[in-house]
A and B are shown apart, each in its own frame.
Chain A
Amino acid sequence: MGKLKARHILGIAHLGMEEISFILDTAVSMKEIMERPIKKVPPLRGKTIVNLFFEPSTRTKLSFELAAKRLSADTVSIAASTSSVVKGETLIDTARNIEAMRPDIIVIRHSMSGAPYMLSRHVGSAIINAGDGTNEHPSQALLDLMTVREHFGRIDGLKVTIIGDIAHSRVAHSDILAFTRMGASVTVCGPATMMPPEPGELGAKVCLDLKDAIRDADVVMALRIQKERLGRLSPFPSEREYADRFGISTAIEPYLKKDVIIMHPGPINRGVELSPEIADGINSVILKQVTNGVAVRMALYTLLLADLQEHG
């Protein structure tokens, strides 16, 4: 098996096209394991993976855990509420203590951008960023790429439109970087209050008109309106108006391409960013994204640990 150049998975910003393709190819063979009646293989037996989640998460944590178990690694998950962080310990100290127990990989989700970068400078284990603040969520972008490639057989040349709170979405950030790196073009749409200051810096075009934004799109991805991130100044007047102006529903369906695929990183606010008909419709690949999430995370573990073994 080949190997990854990166020692950590901190963000799509640090992965080249070849590395991404290699991860996706590996994920395809991992997915095959998941289709077997016995979904467990032994390659990571004796390896330890620590999931360090400083933010509440259900599906991402479950996905990382299942991926590890299917490869026979031992996993421990730590939630922030039960960790020493509440006792005032710094992140670096927490990580060094975990490090002292010799895990092979630390998966971290944290509310602050850059936290996994800081850890990677202070501990020796491989780090996987499972979402840091409003920065990146690389494994989500990889599973999105996998889902699109699986459906269209390619990514290059496709038109991808992402709708929602682009400025505060780590999924959007990683997806824009990932899809453009693989040759797709990315348009972002949503309330102007939710656009990043310099979208061009990431490689995305802004289109403030929803109909124009989705007209030619091969992929339409709606982002979750993260109510918990909205803060004191709500960037739009009401959910009703958001659903009306920026939600994907049967009202807007005539403007979608017939063979478009609808994606969503979940969990969905049904009736806000996606109407139930669209979320459950024939163009939706939302549950395939979830399945592929496990495969991509299995691939990341395998490749990172193969690399570690090679380097001793």
Chain B
Amino acid sequence: MELTGERQFLLRGGRIMDPAQDVDFVGDVLVHEDRIEHIASEIDVPPSTKIVELSGKWIVPGLVDMHVHLREPGEEYKETIETGTRAAAAGGFTSVACMPNTCPSNDNSGITRFIIDRAKDSGRCRVFPVAAITVGQDGKGLTEFGDLLSAGAVAFSDDGLPVQNPAVMRLALEYSLNFNALIISHSEELELSKEGCMNEGKMSTRLGLKGIPVAAEEIAIFRDICLAKLTGARLHIAHVSTAGSVEIIRNAKAQGVRVTAETAPHYFSLTEEAVAGYNTFAKMNPPLRTERDRRAIIEGLRDGTIDAIATDHAPHNSLEKECEFQLAANGIIGLETALPLALKVLVNEEGFAPVQVMRLMSSNPASILDIPGGGLRPSGIADITIIDPEEEFTFTRDTIHSKSYNSPFLGLVFRGRAISTLLGGMPVFDANGLFDIGY
């Protein structure tokens, strides 16, 4: 595709799903420059217009991942903004929000600007930095919310190093009201999870590993919901993993607390059984739980208790993963398997409408973060993902775009994936050569 001059092309005959407007029909999308020009069941175009035939394919808003770790600055040997956004594009994502636990951490506007600039130079998707709640993520003094928001931060979180002192969390929530800013809670009571390296239960008993009880997550979620209620601030719960957490969030929503929540694909597709054999690729925090928890997560996604699917994409080098289980780092990559897993588990096994999955993966996270995208509207930005629901592929190490390969899904055969990703009308990923860009 010509990258200069006037860009106009027609996506023809695809199944158009826009969760923002709750529409699902077969039709055409006309893209002009970086905008969607027109959407209709049939659009007539002059013969000079490039036509991309998409019969049997899905046309959806570019996916939005509100929880990734891009590792830059500081841990470029695991991932860079360039490789991470390439992985995002290959997974169908056009926007990602990156967590502040870089080295140094994103607790000042200089780092926020650096991330945004690097993303503009090398990124294949939009990158929205999440800034730290406290300076150095040390749980003590608040960061400069106002300055960080002006620099481009979209939310605040001390992800990975949760704010332990409830008075500090209260301050953060209260101060966020001045900006209507979003506070994202990595909910973990560290005193209960200390030294734990997997879910506490049957598997931890069998493997002789110290467990993390579900209460470590549930107590922290309940605490932050109480504080959100007290302050009236907006709270988002990251990576929900237990049945009890889903119940706590459901009750809070029923009471009108301004709380939203996300879960990660591994929590609806795997259980603690995946740790068997001391598999460090199944080690993450929060840990994989039980089948009962997995079921509750799926029900939470079905009834809207959980608003979004976010990957918690956490690249690690073999240095951090090929070692004793207790020493291994937490986390797995997720950008390139999120959509295939959602299609496999939620659509094919659980009977979710595809448009509901798109809501969880695009319009909801976009509206929680209050960022552009997440819908398909005339004159809206042309962030579009094209999905082939039938394409089979094997997820292997040499097909991965991320710099790391720490995934428990290596070797799995999937049906359904993103085949093209358009960022502001520009193809940034094109697996099957629909746009002749060669990648």
Q: Which residues of A are interface residues toward B (Cβ below 8 A)?
A: 13, 90-92, 110, 112-115, 117-118, 132-136, 170, 173, 196-199, 201-202, 231
Contacts and interface: CB of A to CB of B under 8 A. Distances in A.
Contact of B326 (A13, A113, A117, A198): A113
Nearest to B204: A197
B374 interface: no
A133 B208 contact: yes
Interface stretch (B84-92, B168-176, B317-325): B317-325
Given A92-B323, A114-B324, A114-B325, A13 B206 contact: yes
Contacts of A117: 277-278
A197 B211 contact: yes
Contact of B209 (A13, A134, A202): A134
21 contacts: A91-B323, A110-B324, A112-B325, A113-B207, A113-B208, A113-B209, A113-B325, A114-B208, A114-B278, A114-B326, A115-B324, A118-B278, A133-B208, A134-B209, A135-B209, A197-B205, A197-B211, A197-B213, A198-B205, A201-B205, A202-B206
B208 A198 contact: no
Contacts of B278: 113-114, 117-118
A214 B163 CA distance: 47
B326 A112 contact: yes
Nearest to A136: B208
Contacts of B207: 113-114, 135
Contacts of B201: 197-198
Contacts of B397: none
B324 A118 contact: yes
Given A92-B323, A133-B326, 16 more contacts: A91-B324, A112-B327, A113-B208, A113-B325, A114-B207, A114-B208, A114-B209, A114-B325, A118-B323, A118-B325, A133-B209, A134-B210, A198-B201, A198-B205, A202-B205, A202-B206
A115 B328 CA distance: 12
A173 B278 CA distance: 17
B209 A199 contact: no
B200 interface: yes
A231 B195 CA distance: 11
B258 interface: no
B79 to A, nearest CB: 22
A136 B205 CA distance: 11
Contacts of A132: 208
A164 to B, nearest CB: 15
A201 B202 contact: yes
Shortest 5 CB-CB distances between A and B: which pairs? A135-B208, A114-B278, A112-B324, A113-B208, A198-B205
Interface string B195-222: 1000011101111111101000000000
A90 B319 CA distance: 9
Interface in B258-305: 277-278
Nearest to B278: A114
B275 to A, nearest CB: 10
Contacts of B324: 91, 110, 112, 114-115, 118
Contacts of B327: 112
Interface in B300-354: 322-327
A91 B326 CA distance: 13
A231 B196 CA distance: 13
B330 to A, nearest CB: 16
